[in-house]
Structure formats: structure tokens, C-alpha cells
């Protein structure tokens, strides 16, 4: 899930359909209900009962998740692992007999990045193995280095004078130490009745309503680290252009940290370290404790101050093909970082050994979504969609963010296909790319298939898709919705991307008209803990690009577990933090909602765009 609100401009390219080839998929399909073996299982006759029986008693969701996370591993956008995940999900869906499984271009992205080898250890005055992780798209080292550890403790330009001539070849600690407090609350929680009541009574005019726990406040730091995932993604939906104007540079605006030095001076600190010849920049994990490292993307550090009329915090994204090379950047577990700072402050002369080998991939700068569908019958042109994002960060294996959602969506498609029924509407799954960099895959898909909002205030850019947000479009009459061929055909889009917790209900995105419908669909799942509907708008997931152009896009309410407290974008985002029964429940509810939407007499009602 996206950490920071990136204003990322893309050149959206024409769709590329890369058809699936026949493969021996590692997750096998169960026998069709019409076979003799299946008949012995005494499958229930009612379609909803069949979905529940298959999903709870014959689930393959953990097999899917295991392959994504432990065979393929972390799936950084544009990386070879992400491309393998694209191909495997495509072939797996095709192997189940789901039609038109293909990869569809989400446009030009930039460089891929792979971590080849890394270690960090204090070697003087004592040996201390350090818990650390490189930042994504960090440059590597030509050979291992051993350098003096310097804590760059400066609050003003004048403070930098004492460090001149002392940073050459050094490992520079940048960032304020963060207090580690005792935790008296559990890491993992489920939504209580009070939490669910709060959601049920939520004010629909508020954005980003959520009952999930928030991550710790982020310390001052020199490198990209988002301050709030939900706030960051909601802002990304508001600030991201729906497609880039020709010739626009691949730049982003980094968010401000929640406390500490302003970005202007923090950037000056990093620039100073580069000019002084530092070898490595090390910052504290922006959240978490107990040896868990939370990490995001490396910063591209401008060596020159921006022009006076340039955005104050504008910089290249590190995956841009024309991004300048910078210093290697790593994150340290907060306990290790704090210890090193205290040792330096006590006058200890420290030396650290760092080895960092990385590989950039620049031969294919395009990224792709995985798309597949079950064709409809009487209303085949109409669509019901479900989706989650396939990309992840490079730490951990991206299990809770968001291989869990991908596995649930694939399992739902497997269940529905195995029922051998003919839905009225076509059912299409989208496994999105580049969500962590700003809904790149889902936003490109919405632009290409459904529509976008354009800004008519400037005639020179009237043909360029611009920022898309329902709140802005309703206030600005200059915005125009450009409808694409499938805009009127979408019945609903359902998303899952709030970790691995079971579904407790669904956000209505201020669409009051769907409330009675969803309440009825949730009725059979009270025994599984899912019955809450909330008018609130929730941000930060791939339903936002759909909702932004007036399409009925929804994100389910999920139990938080330890998503924000432990696993989100961290080294702990691994399969062992998944609760299998929660994903089974989620797959059953996802499949049921999709089935109901596909078989309903009418498409779901839409809220007014204006």
C-alpha cells in the first residue's frame, strides 16, 4: 500500500495484451462440480452456500499466498520479481480456465531495482551486527567500505561548519533518534463493537475514516518515508494527475515528516554529506521497534538548490531513468540507530563496515497489470470487477501488503469459475502494479477503459487528463469527465488492501443508495463477523481512481491485526503474520459480493459526480 502521496506523472501507453501461455500452474484447480469425484463431496445446491463451502472447506488461498511471497518474494514495482509475479498470476488464472488472462500495460515507469547483497556491522570499538535494510532504488557500493561513523547533528547552516572535512568516506547518521516507549497495548487488535459502531455512524463528509491503528510518528529524516499511509494515499488521489502531459519530467514531491527539521534543511544536510564525500547515509527506521525495520524509497539528493520559483521539496523519483546517481542509503532498526548515536555522543570512535550490491534494470521501463475475466451471458458487456495490488516494497515479502489481497481475489475467481455457472455480467479481476508509487496501475486502467477528468481552464492542456478527485470536480465547473467505452458498463469494483485481517464490513464511499443492498448481501455473514456498513470514505487503496471519476468503487473494512503496528512496509511483512482463517473468510465474502453484483437485475446505483 502506498506510503506517501506522490504527484507522479506518467506517459500512459496504449494497452499491451500479452496473452497467457499454457503452463503447469503450481496451484491446481479442484475438480469441476459436474465430475463424479466432485459429486461425492455433496456440494450444496444454493450458489451462496457453494461459495461458502468451497472457500471455507477447500481453500487454496494460502497456497496462492505462499507462492507469491516465498517463491517469488518481494515485488518492487518494475523489478524482475514483479514481472515474474505478473506472469505467474496470469498463467495461474488461465490454468483455472479463466479467459483472456493477459498483461496490460500501465505505462512508462522507469528503472527496476534488485538487492543482490547487503550487510552492515559495527567493527570498532567492538563488533556489533546491525539490523538494517537498504532503501529501494539506493545506489550500491563498488566494494565493501569500512568508515568512521559520524552523527550529523546540525540544526542550522552554521552548525555544519564543524563537520567540514570530516565526512569523507564516513557512514553518516542522519535523523533524530526516536524514543522507544514500552508498549502496553497489543500489537495486533481486532475491531471491537465500539469500533464498528463508530464506523457505522461515521460522517461521510470526512475523508480517510478508519478504525485501524496508525503507525508511530516518523522522525526527521533525509530520505523518503511517508508519514501516514492512509493520509498519504488519499492525498495522492487528490494530487496525482491522471496522466502525464507529453514531455513532463518524472518528478515527485516528497511529503514532509511529521516532526523535526523542515525538508528544506534536511535536504541541505544530505547535500552537504554528498559534497563532503560521505560513503553511506544511514537513517533510523521511521516507525516500529523491537528490531523491525520500516523502509521505503531512497531520496535523490539535488546537489544544487532549486530555483526560487520551483516547488520547495521537488526532486526526481529514484526510479526515473534520468535520476542522478546518489549516495547509498540504508535504514537502521531504531534501537541500533539510537545506540550508535549515544555512543558517538559519549565520545566513542566508531567504525562501520557496509557491503551493498544492487542491480538496476533499465531494458524495459514499462509496467503491467494482470487482467483476466469470466465472461458474462445476457449482459456480457457489463462488468463487475475485483482487485488488489500486486506490487510491494522490498523489505519483507509483501505478504500483508498486498499479496493477501491478491490471493483473496484470485481465490474468489477460482471459486466462481469452479461453480461452472454463467454470470449475467462479466467478472473481471485486476491485479494492479505501482500502487505504492501512487495507484499507477489502477489509475492507468481507469483512464484507458473508463474515463478521466480533464481541466478546461487552460486551452493548451485541454486534451490532457488532469487531477482527479470527486470533491474537487464537484466544486469546479471547469472540470469535465471524459468517458471511455466501458464507463457506463461497470456495475461495481471491489478492492481489498488493508492487510490480512478478515472482512468486517464495507465502506460505502458516501453512496447511500448502495447501503440497503450491501446490508442484505452481508446478512449471511453475521456469524463470520461481517455486518458493518459505513457511509465513510476511506482512502489509500486502488478503489480511489474508480471513485474519483464517479464509478462505484469500494474497499472492505478489515480487522487491523498488527498491520500498521508491525508489518506495513516492514521486514515483518511476511507469511507468518498472516491468519489463514481470516483470508478464507475474506475470499468467501469477496466471491459472494462479486457473484451478487454479477447476477443482480440492475447495476449498483452511482452517487452523483457533481
pLDDT score recorded for residue 442: 98
Rounded average pLDDT over 82-103? 98
Provide the pLDDT confidence category of residue 11 given band limits of 50, 70 and 90.
very low
Are residues 88 and 129 both part of a single domain?
Answer: no
Residue ending a domain, choose from 361, 392, 426: 361
Burial class (CB in 10 A: 0-12, 13-18, 19+), 339: middle
The answer to whether residues 132 and 333 touch, using CB atoms and an 8 Å cutoff, is: yes
Integer Cα distance of 561 and 577 in angstroms: 9
Is the same domain home to 128 and 87? no
Which band of pLDDT confidence, cut at 50, 70 and 90, is reported for residue 82? very high
The pLDDT assigned to 1 comes to: 59
**Are 84 and 223 contained in the same domain?**
no
In this prediction, residue 404 has a pLDDT band, given cuts at 50, 70 and 90, of very high
Report if residue 206 sits inside a domain.
no
Task: Give the whole-angstrom CA distance, residue 171 versus residue 575.
Answer: 33
Could you tell me which of 551, 602, 590 has the C-alpha nearest to residue 379? 602
| C-alpha torsion sign, points 468, 470, 471, 474 | positive
| Interatomic CA distance for residues 337 and 173, integer angstroms | 8
Based on the fold, state whether residues 343 and 440 are members of the same structural domain.
Answer: no
39, pLDDT greater than 60: no
The answer on 378 and 324 residing in a single domain is no
- Indicate whether 227 pLDDT > 60: no
Same domain for 158 and 62? no
**Is 205 domain-assigned?**
no
Q: By the 8 A CB rule, do 434 and 106 touch?
A: yes
Q: Tell me how far apart the alpha carbons of residues 574 and 197 are, in angstroms, rounded to a whole number.
A: 31
How far apart are alpha carbons 559 and 500 in whole angstroms? 8
Looking at the fold, whether 166 and 87 belong to one and the same domain comes out as no
Residue 565 sits at φ, ψ, to 5 deg, of -85, -25
Strands 490-495 and 451-455: unpaired
Assess if residue 222 is contained within a domain.
Answer: yes
The sign one gets for the Cα dihedral 382, 103, 368, 569 is: positive
Phi, psi for residue 442 in degrees, rounded to 5: -70, -35
Say if residues 370 and 120 touch (Cβ distance below 8 Å).
no
**Are 292 and 396 within one domain?**
no
pLDDT at position 530, please? 98
314 in any annotated domain: yes
CATH number at residue 133: 3.50.30.30
Is the pLDDT reported for residue 461 higher than 80? no
CATH code of the domain covering residue 422: 3.40.630.10
Strand, coil or helix: what is 325?
coil
Task: List residues bridging with 282 in a β-sheet.
Answer: 173, 330
Q: Assess contact for 257 and 225: CB atoms under 8 A.
A: yes
Asked whether the predicted pLDDT for residue 459 surpasses 80, the reply is no
User: Residue 171 above 90 pLDDT?
Assistant: yes
The pLDDT, as a whole number, for residue 26 is 58
Model confidence pTM above 0.95: no
- Confidence band for 326, pLDDT divided at 50, 70 and 90: confident
pLDDT score at 184: 93
Pairing verdict, β 553-558 and 503-507 = antiparallel
pLDDT digits (tens, 9 = 90+) for 572-594: 999 999 999 999 999 999 999 99
Q: Is the pLDDT of residue 311 over 50?
A: no
Supply the mean pLDDT for the chain: 83
User: Of 342, 361, 380, at which residue does a domain stop?
Assistant: 361
| Rounded Cα gap, residues 545 and 588, in angstroms | 25
Q: Are residues 555 and 493 in the same domain?
A: yes
Q: What DSSP assignment string belongs to 468-507? A: --HHHHHH-TTEEEEE-TTGGGEEEEEE--S-SPPEEEEE
Handedness of CA 123, 124, 127, 131 (dihedral sign): negative
Q: Is 107 in contact with 100 (CB distance < 8 Å)?
A: no
State residue 284's pLDDT score. Answer: 97
The percent of residues above 70 in pLDDT, for the chain, comes to 77
Res. 253: pLDDT tops 60: no
**Residue found by looking up cell 459480493 in the block:** 593
With a pLDDT cut of 90, the percent of the chain lying above it is: 72
Selection from 582, 527, 572 nearest residue 407 by Cα: 582
Q: With cut-offs at 50, 70 and 90, classify the pLDDT of residue 609.
A: confident
Strands 112-124 and 128-129: antiparallel
User: In Å, how far are 128, 137, 148, 352, 373 from 143, measured between CA atoms?
Assistant: 20, 18, 16, 14, 49
For range 423-438, the mean pLDDT: 97
Section 492-507 average pLDDT: 97
**Short-list 295, 299, 296, 298, CA closest to 315:** 299
Is residue 252 situated within a structural domain? yes
pLDDT by residue (tens digit) across 176-212? Answer: 999 999 999 999 999 999 999 999 998 876 654 444 4
DSSP structure string for 169-201: T-EEE-S-----PPP-S-S-B---HHHHHHHHT
- What sign results for the dihedral spanned by CA atoms 407, 408, 409, 412? positive
Look at 256-260, 286-290, 404-408, 553-557 and tell me which has the smallest mean pLDDT: 256-260
Listed residues 312, 345, 361: the one ending a domain = 361
Q: How many domains does the chain have?
A: 2
- Say what the pLDDT of residue 7 is: 34
Given a cut of 60, is residue 51 above it in pLDDT? yes
Mean pLDDT over residues 487-504, rounded? 97
pLDDT band at 37 (very low <50, low <70, confident <90, very high): low
Mark whether 251 and 394 lie in a shared domain. no
Best CA proximity match to 393, nearest among 406, 383, 405, 403: 403
Any domain includes 232: yes
- Residue 148 confidence (pLDDT) above 60: yes
pLDDT at residue 215 in the model = 37
Q: What is the DSSP string of 119-159?
A: EEEEEESS-EE--EEEPBT----SS-EEEEEEE---SSTGG
Mean pLDDT value of segment 383-388: 98
Confirm whether 374 is domain-assigned.
Answer: yes
Lowest mean pLDDT across 16-30, 337-351, 365-379, 571-585? 16-30
Q: If you average pLDDT over residues 84-100, what whole number do you get?
A: 98
- Which domain covers residue 288, as residue numbers? 113-178+218-361
Least-confidence region, from 191-200, 274-283, 314-323, 466-475: 466-475
Nearest alpha-carbon partner for 392 in 410, 380, 376, 404: 404
Contact 547, 606 (CB under 8 A): no
Determine the Cα–Cα distance for residues 368 and 86; give it in Å rounded to an integer.
Answer: 7
576-590: string of b/e by CB count within 10 Å (b at 16+)?
ebbeeebbbbbbbbb
In a domain, 172, yes or no: yes
Q: Which among 428, 606, 417, 386 has a CA at the least distance from the CA of 517?
A: 606
Domain shared by 97 and 122, yes or no: no
Q: Do 225 and 345 belong together in one domain?
A: yes
Amino acid at each position: 500500500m502506498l506510503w506517501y502521496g506522490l504527484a507522479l506523472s506518467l506517459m500512459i501507453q496504449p494497452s499491451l495484451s500479452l496473452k497467457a501461455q499454457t503452463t503447469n500452474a503450481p496451484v491446481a484447480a479442484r475438480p469441476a462440480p459436474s465430475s463424479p469425484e466432485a459429486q461425492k463431496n455433496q456440494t450444496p445446491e444454493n450458489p451462496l452456500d457453494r461459495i461458502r463451502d468451497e472457500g471455507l472447506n477447500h481453500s487454496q488461498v494460502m497456497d496462492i499466498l505462499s507462492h507469491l511471497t516465498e517463491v517469488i518474494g518481494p515485488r518492487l514495482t518494475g523489478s524482475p520479481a514483479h514481472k515474474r509475479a505478473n506472469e505467474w498470476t496470469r498463467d495461474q488464472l488461465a490454468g483455472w480456465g479463466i479467459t483472456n488472462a493477459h498483461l496490460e500495460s500501465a505505462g512508462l515507469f522507469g528503472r527496476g531495482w534488485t538487492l543482490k547483497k547487503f550487510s552492515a556491522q559495527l567493527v570498532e570499538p567492538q563488533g556489533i551486527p546491525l539490523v538494517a535494510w537498504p532503501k529501494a532504488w539506493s545506489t550500491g557500493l563498488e566494494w565493501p567500505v569500512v568508515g568512521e561513523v559520524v552523527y550529523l547533528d546540525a540544526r542550522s547552516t552554521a552548525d555544519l561548519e564543524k563537520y567540514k572535512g570530516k565526512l569523507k568516506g564516513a557512514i553518516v547518521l542522519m535523523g533524530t533518534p526516536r524514543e522507544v516507549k514500552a508498549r502496553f497495548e497489543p500489537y495486533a487488535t481486532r475491531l471491537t463493537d465500539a469500533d464498528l459502531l463508530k464506523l457505522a455512524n461515521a460522517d461521510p463528509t470526512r475523508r480517510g475514516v478508519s478504525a485501524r491503528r496508525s503507525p508511530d510518528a516518523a522522525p526527521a529524516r533525509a530520505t523518503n518515508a511517508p508519514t501516514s499511509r492512509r493520509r498519504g494515499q488519499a492525498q495522492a488521489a487528490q494530487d496525482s494527475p491522471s496522466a502525464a502531459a507529453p514531455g513532463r519530467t518524472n518528478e515527485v514531491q516528497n511529503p514532509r515528516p511529521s516532526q523535526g527539521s523542515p525538508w528544506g534543511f534536511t535536504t541541505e544536510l544530505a547535500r552537504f554529506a554528498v559534497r563532503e564525500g560521505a560513503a553511506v547515509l544511514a537513517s533510523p527506521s521511521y516507525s516500529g521497534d523491537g528490531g523491525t525495520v520500516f523502509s521505503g524509497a531512497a531520496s535523490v539528493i539535488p546537489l544544487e538548490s532549486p530555483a526560487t520559483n520551483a516547488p520547495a521539496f521537488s526532486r526526481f523519483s529514484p526510479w526515473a531513468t534520468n535520476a542522478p546517481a546518489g549516495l547509498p542509503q540504508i535504514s537502521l532498526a531504531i534501537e541500533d540507530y539510537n545506540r550508535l548515536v549515544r555512543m558517538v555522543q559519549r565520545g566513542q570512535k566508531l567504525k562501520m563496515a557496509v557491503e551493498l550490491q544492487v542491480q538496476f534494470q533499465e531494458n524495459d521501463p514499462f509496467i503491467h497489470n494482470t487482467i483476466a475475466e469470466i465472461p458474462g451471458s445476457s449482459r456480457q458487456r457489463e462488468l463487475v470487477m475485483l482487485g488488489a495490488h500486486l506490487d510491494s516494497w522490498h523489505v519483507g515479502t509483501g505478504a500483508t501488503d498486498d499479496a493477501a489481497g491478491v490471493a483473496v481475489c484470485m481465490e474468489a475467481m477460482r471459486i466462481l469459475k469452479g461453480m461452472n455457472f454463467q454470470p449475467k455480467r462479466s467478472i473481471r479481476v485486476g491485479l494492479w502494479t505501482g500502487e505504492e508509487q501512487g495507484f499507477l496501475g489502477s489509475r492507468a486502467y481507469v483512464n484507458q477503459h473508463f474515463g478521466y477528468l480533464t481541466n478546461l481552464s487552460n486551452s493548451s492542456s485541454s486534451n490532457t487528463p488532469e487531477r482527479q478527485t470527486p470533491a474537487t470536480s464537484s466544486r469546479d465547473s471547469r472540470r469535465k469527465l471524459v468517458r471511455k467505452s466501458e464507463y457506463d458498463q461497470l456495475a461495481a469494483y471491489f478492492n481489498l488492501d488493508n492487510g490480512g485481517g478478515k472482512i468486517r464490513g464495507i465502506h460505502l464511499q458516501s453512496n447511500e443508495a448502495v447501503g440497503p443492498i450491501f446490508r442484505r448481501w452481508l446478512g449471511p455473514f453475521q456469524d463470520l463477523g461481517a455486518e458493518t456498513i459505513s457511509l465513510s470514505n476511506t482512502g489509500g487503496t486502488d478503489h480511489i481512481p474508480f471513485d474519483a471519476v464517479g464509478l462505484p468503487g469500494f474497499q472492505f473494512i478489515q480487522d487491523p491485526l498488527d498491520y500498521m503496528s508491525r508489518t506495513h512496509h516492514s521486514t515483518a511483512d511476511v507469511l507468518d503474520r498472516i491468519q489463514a482463517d481470516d483470508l478464507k473468510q475474506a475470499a468467501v465474502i469477496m466471491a459472494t459480493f462479486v457473484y451478487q453484483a454479477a447476477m443482480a437485475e440492475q447495476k449498483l446505483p452511482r452517487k452523483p459526480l457533481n
